[in-house]
């Protein structure tokens, strides 16, 4: 019994939903970035939880130059007793200096953070090799391209 014809869009070569599953190509296996120095932009920072359920702050960045353009890399900070001072030091240059700021959208609307990342590899107890961001240097904080576009579309010039 063939149930595929009962799936919405199946005969129309659907591009999403379960009807598209058979024609989909599997994503490549995850591979971390090679160790090195990368130019990147901050995509998003947000309050998160670790796998163990502890409070954390996660920042996702995207490589903007070189062979690995478009790859994303994540740095997570925790708030445990031993980590707190380092977390506070690392997040302060981003203006993330209070709990309220950590819980607010980041980057702020209209802002763009360009950074330089020093990336190493680290193999966990589970044998999986992951990226380890050793250092983040803010190169420039500026107006995001989206903000410039929105201002150019606004006849009042954003006022």
Query: How far is 25 from 29, CA to CA, in rounded Å?
Result: 12
Q: At the topology level of CATH, where does 31-153 sit? A: OB fold (Dihydrolipoamide Acetyltransferase, E2P) (2.40.50)
**What is the tens place of the pLDDT at every residue in 47-58?**
999 989 999 999
**What is the tens place of the pLDDT at every residue in 18-76?**
888 988 899 888 889 999 999 999 999 999 999 899 999 999 999 999 999 999 999 99
Query: How far is 149 from 159, CA to CA, in rounded Å?
Result: 14
Query: How far is 107 from 88, CA to CA, in rounded Å?
Result: 17
| Cα separation values, 59 from 20, 72, 74, 75, 126, Å | 32, 10, 6, 5, 23
Sorted by where each begins, the domain ranges of the chain are 31-153
Per-chain mean pLDDT for the chain: 87
Task: Specify the pLDDT at position 138.
Answer: 97
What whole-number percentage of the chain has pLDDT above 70?
A: 82
For residue 43, which of 73, 69, 66 has the smallest C-alpha distance? 73
pLDDT of 153 higher than 70: no
pLDDT of 122 higher than 50: yes
What whole-number percentage of the chain has pLDDT above 90?
A: 69
User: Quick one: pLDDT band at residue 5, thresholds 50, 70, 90?
Assistant: low
Query: How far is 151 from 159, CA to CA, in rounded Å?
Result: 9
């Amino acid at each position: 019994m063939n149930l595929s014809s009962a799936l919405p869009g199946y005969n129309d070569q659907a591009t999403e939903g379960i009807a598209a599953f058979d024609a989909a190509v599997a994503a490549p296996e995850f591979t971390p970035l090679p160790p090195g120095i990368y130019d990147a932009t901050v995509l998003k920072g947000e309050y998160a939880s670790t796998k163990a359920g502890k409070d954390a702050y996660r920042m996702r960045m995207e490589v903007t130059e070189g062979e690995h353009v478009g790859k994303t890399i994540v740095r997570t900070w925790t708030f445990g007793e031993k980590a707190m001072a380092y977390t506070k030091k690392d997040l302060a240059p981003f203006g993330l200096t209070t709990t309220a700021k950590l819980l607010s959208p980041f980057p702020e609307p209209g802002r763009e953070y360009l950074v330089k990342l020093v990336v190493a590899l680290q193999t966990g107890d589970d044998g999986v090799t992951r990226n380890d961001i050793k250092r983040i240097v803010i190169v420039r904080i500026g107006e995001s391209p989206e903000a410039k576009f929105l201002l150019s579309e606004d006849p009042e010039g954003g006022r």
